[in-house]
Amino acid sequence: MIEIQRLVKRYGDKTAVDGLNFTVKPGVVTGFLGPNGAGKSTTMRMILGLDAPTSGSVLVNGKRYAQHTAPLQEVGALLEAKSIHPGRSAYNHLNSLALTHGIPRRRVDEVIELAGLGKVAKKRAGAFSLGMGQRLGIAAALLGDPQTIMLDEPVNGLDPEGVLWIRTLLTNLASEGRTVFVSSHLMSEMALTATDLIIVGRGKLLADTTVADFIESAGGDSVKVVSSDATRLRELLLGPDVTVTGAAGSEELQVNGLTAREIGQKAADAAIAVYELTPQVVSLEEAFMALTGDTVEYRSNGSTGATGASAAAGDKEQKEVVAA
């Protein structure tokens, strides 16, 4: 469990983290999202005690990181900056970590196996590819068999097999009841791996929600219907929890609050021909862009920072959405 309360970090006059409050709970994978410079790495560094908060508190498994007598056994972390001696083998790197933290040698063999590093464990870490380096970092994070695992961009540099391996690993760790907190810029991957989401922008909390609720709140449950009589169909479909939009005179309608099946059945009952019936899938990426568009600090030319999902984002109730 990670508990963050009123967390602030200032560097001179730059506020990197601006009053964050959230809890990362055990048993699920929680994604940590935000545009570049949103404060994710700074927050993760404070969780590990690598940076001191200006104010506020961060507890991991009920204590500050520094208060744990065996921190590697409490929280395993992979941050972007790696500190592996390039001349040392993966095995020796893990073994020296284990020796200095009272972790048995057999655990080194276990994590080497778990990370798929068996064939290269005796090779110099300096000769490792980016992907192998990531696997070694993850092996080190898991060495202490920690209750809480925190990974900053773990799929960076991994090939498709590696990406699938990470997804399965994180899901398994969470299903064992561990707390798994992961940042990533790869939205499609996050949508497949995470259940809960913490989204930040300019150091502030933008959303504390689930992937499913977040996508739904961005209009993920609408259905496009093209029919022979849009005017009559619209009247048939309208109800207390149903909204129907469409341009006057157009055959096309957008329906929220009914499934494609329900719409098809109502149209069939009224003998209205349906030419198209398509559930509209809003991606996590679109929902993210809609929410964070205003908080992006570094934007390339030509990017609008918003998509068609923007109008719908925030229309419906989310677990918690905080104004930027």
The residue ranges that bind ligand ATP (CB under 6 A) are 11, 14, 16, 34, 36-42
Select 30 or 89, whichever has its Cβ closest to ligand ATP: 30
In order of 51, 134, 136, 151, the CA distances from 129 in angstroms are: 29, 9, 11, 19
Select 14 or 106, whichever has its Cβ closest to ligand ATP: 14
CB 3 to ligand ATP: min, Å: 19
CB 41 to ligand ATP: min, Å: 3
Contact present, 73 and 145 (Cβ < 8 Å): yes
What distance separates the 2 farthest-apart alpha carbons in the chain? 75
**Buried/exposed code over 109-126 (b: 16+ C-beta within 10 A; e: otherwise):** eebbebbbbeebbeeebe
Select 34 or 220, whichever has its Cβ closest to ligand ATP: 34
Instruction: Pick left, alpha or beta for residue 290 (phi over 0 → left; psi -120 to 50 → alpha; otherwise beta).
Output: alpha
Q: Between helices 260-269 and 230-237, what is the axis angle to 10°?
A: 120
CB 139 to ligand ATP: min, Å: 23
Select 186 or 242, whichever has its Cβ closest to ligand ATP: 186
Contact present, 313 and 290 (Cβ < 8 Å): yes
Select 36 or 231, whichever has its Cβ closest to ligand ATP: 36
Select 52 or 248, whichever has its Cβ closest to ligand ATP: 52
Residue 80: CB partners within 8 Å, gap ≥ 6? 41, 152, 153, 156
CB 36 to ligand ATP: min, Å: 3
CB 86 to ligand ATP: min, Å: 24
CB 33 to ligand ATP: min, Å: 9
Q: Which residue has the tokens 């990370």?
A: 115
Select 41 or 89, whichever has its Cβ closest to ligand ATP: 41
Instruction: Pick left, alpha or beta for residue 132 (phi over 0 → left; psi -120 to 50 → alpha; otherwise beta).
Output: alpha
CB 154 to ligand ATP: min, Å: 13
Contact present, 155 and 163 (Cβ < 8 Å): yes
Select 36 or 188, whichever has its Cβ closest to ligand ATP: 36
3-state secondary structure 263-305: HHHHHHHCCCCEEEEEECCCCHHHHHHHHHHHHCCCCCCCCCC
Rounded CA-CA distance 39/33 in Å is 10
- Comparing CA positions, the residue from 222, 220, 240 lying closest to residue 282 is 220
The span from the first CA to the last CA of the chain, in angstroms, equals: 25
CB 11 to ligand ATP: min, Å: 3
